[in-house]
Amino acid sequence: MTAIRRTKIVATLGPATQRPETLDAMFEAGMNVVRLNFSHGDPADHIQLAERVRERARICHKPVGILADLQGPKIRIARFKDGPIVLKDGSSFVLDADLGSQDGDDYQVGIDYKALPDDVSDGDILLLDDGRIVLRVEGVNDRRIMTRVITGGPLSNNKGINRQGGGLSAAALTGKDCQDIVTAARMEADYLAVSFPRSAEDIHEARRLLHEAGGHAAIVAKIERAEALDAIEEIIEAADAIMVARGDLGVEMGDAALPPIQKRIISLARRMNRVTITATQMMESMILNPIPTRAEVFDVANAVLDGTDAVMLSGETAVGKNPIKTIAAMHRICLQAEQEREIRVSRHRIDSSFEQMDEAIAMGAMYLANHLNVKTIAALTESGSTVLWMSRISSGIPIFALTPHEKTARRVTLYRGVYPIKFAREHNDHATLNREVITELERRGVVVEGDIVIITKGDLEVQGSTNALKLVRVGDMVEPRVNGQSCE
């Protein structure tokens, strides 16, 4: 069997990637999860695109997850009446919450976030356009923020505003986000990403609103604010997945601080049995160019070595000229990085005790797999919990999630090293079930005669509880029996 990429690829859809034939090519190139960016488009567009994605996925026989990404609070300047301006170092510039949204000029501009004058004080550093423009606050006069330009340059409409070190009070969930959560529930999104959370309460609120709307997506907390780092363990505990969103976070914390922050978040999330996504500018140059820079190759590879479950593409596939080549390049980089031995071994929870039987089975399976010449693991699962726990263990061994549930199959598309297989289980005879599992793996070319396979499963009568582990050698499926019953 050829090597299977373990790290998953999330690709953002946009004008460049909405046609059916393009989606088919993206699946073939290696896309596992599509991201729908709710900062653009309307609800009807998103629902229609989600339906198209799932239709093409069925036709291509490629399981795919859908991640709905909420816009979050818009902390941006407004617009300039005569087009872009150029700020000069040392000049004064005003951010005016009461200025008209189209009335900016060389000396002042309006702001979308009207509470900004209440959030800043003398000496604060404001960063515009991803930190390209640096302003120092010199005073607040009613609704006008008086600043001095520290680093100038061109400035155009609707650029983002960050406060160095974080601390802006904007709520994570806006009115638009609340409406978009209903849209995510209607499209049956598999993941819902919450932008700019400050605390675990933001995640709990998003989950409550989603459930009220009838949705059951897993919640992704996007770590974008400096203050989120102060509550990182609580946020990870509240969420199902974590996205290291390096754009705004890098602006607030400083670029040099990002690498250790990324490593810490990924390591912590894996220890807490949460999924991780690494995002922002991973293959940025490929928006225009057909090959990545060497720095981008190293960036993607390092995220893989850090243990991320997934790497994400944004503008590269949403508006880029080379979406298919970008996915293919990311696939090759991930596959190569995964050959390093250091990410195939793990001491994850090696000294821990387990409170749940199914978690103990999952950890036992991975210990066996890493200490025996096992070819693959086949986990019969209802919810996907067992394979999530398994995927927290570093290993080069593929884990196949055999499930009858479409929602479970789509959710596990984001788990590192886990591959979904639709599998209908209709009886509870373990010997027959083992043979059916092996037959399915043989049919897919995953195993051949002589390979050792670990099978985990539970009793059919007790759904959601994995309580059995079986070591099987392909071709040797004669089950020893005691009093007419197969031994497990």
Mean pLDDT of 166-182: 94
Percentage of the chain surpassing pLDDT 90?
Answer: 82
Give bridge partners of residue 376 from the DSSP assignment.
453
193 vs 172: CA distance, rounded Å: 11
* CA distance to 28, 100, 194, per residue, from 366 (Å): 29, 60, 32
Confidence of residue 2 (pLDDT cuts 50, 70, 90): low
The counts of H helices and E strands in the chain are 15, 23
pLDDT higher than threshold 80 for residue 427:
no
Rg of the chain over CA atoms, in angstroms? 25
Catalytic residue among 5, 6, 8, 35: 35
pLDDT of residue 480: 42
Q: How many CA atoms lie within 13 Å of 257's alpha carbon, on the beta-carbon side?
A: 12
Q: pLDDT of 195-210, one tens digit each?
A: 999 999 999 999 999 9
What b/e sequence results for 31-66 when a residue is b if at least 16 CB atoms lie within 10 Å of its CB, and e otherwise?
bbbbbbbbeeeeeeebbebbeebbebbeeeebbbbb
From the candidates 54, 62, 74, 76, give the one annotated as an active-site residue: 76
Question: Which of 333, 303, 423, 324 is closest to 63 using CA atoms?
Answer: 423
Amino acid occupying residue 22:
T
Q: In the structure, what pLDDT confidence band is assigned to residue 162 with cuts at 50, 70 and 90?
A: very high
Using CA atoms, how far apart are residues 321 and 329, in angstroms rounded to an integer?
14
pLDDT computed for residue 449 by the predictor: 94
Of residues 468 and 141, which shows the higher confidence score? Answer: 141
Q: Across all residues in the chain, what is the average pLDDT?
A: 91
What is the pLDDT confidence band of residue 483, given thresholds at 50, 70 and 90? very low
| Residue 5 CB coordination number (10 Å) | 21
Read off the pLDDT of each residue in 381-388 and give the average, rounded to a whole number. 93
Give 90's pLDDT tier (boundaries 50, 70, 90): very high
Residue 184 clears pLDDT 90, i.e. is over it:
yes
Tokens of 218: 């897993």
Cβ-count burial 291-314 (b if 16+ within 10 Å, e if not): ebeeebbebbbebbbbbbbbbbbb
Amino acid at position 108, single letter: Q
What pLDDT shows up at residue 272? 95
Strand order, beta sheet including 452-457 = 418-422, 399-403, 376-380, 452-457, 468-473
Question: What number is the average pLDDT over the span 79-100?
Answer: 97
Please say whether the beta carbons of 79 and 102 come within 8 A.
Answer: yes
**222: annotated active-site residue:** yes
Q: Considering 5, 8, 163, 222, which one is annotated as catalytic?
A: 222
Quick check: is 341 catalytic? no
Confidence band for 342, pLDDT divided at 50, 70 and 90: low
In angstroms, rounded to a whole number, what is the distance separating the alpha carbons of residues 240 and 312? 17
Is residue 88 part of the annotated active site? The answer reads no
| pLDDT score for 487 | 37
Q: Give the active site residue among 280, 308, 403, 408.
A: 280
Question: pLDDT (tens digit, 9 = 90+) per residue, 207-242?
Answer: 999 999 999 999 999 999 999 999 999 999 999 999
Q: What is the pLDDT of residue 465?
A: 74
Q: How confident is the model at residue 481, as a pLDDT?
A: 40
pLDDT band at 426; cut points 50, 70, 90: confident
Provide the CA 457 distance to its chain's centre, in angstroms. Answer: 28
Angle value at C-alpha 446, between 380 and 326, nearest 5 degrees = 100
When pLDDT is cut at 50, 70 and 90, the band that residue 460 belongs to is: low
> What's the predicted TM-score (pTM) here?
0.91
Looking at the predicted structure, is the pLDDT value of residue 482 above 70?
A: no
Quickly state the pLDDT bin for 430 (edges 50, 70, 90): confident
Is residue 443 flagged as an active site residue? no
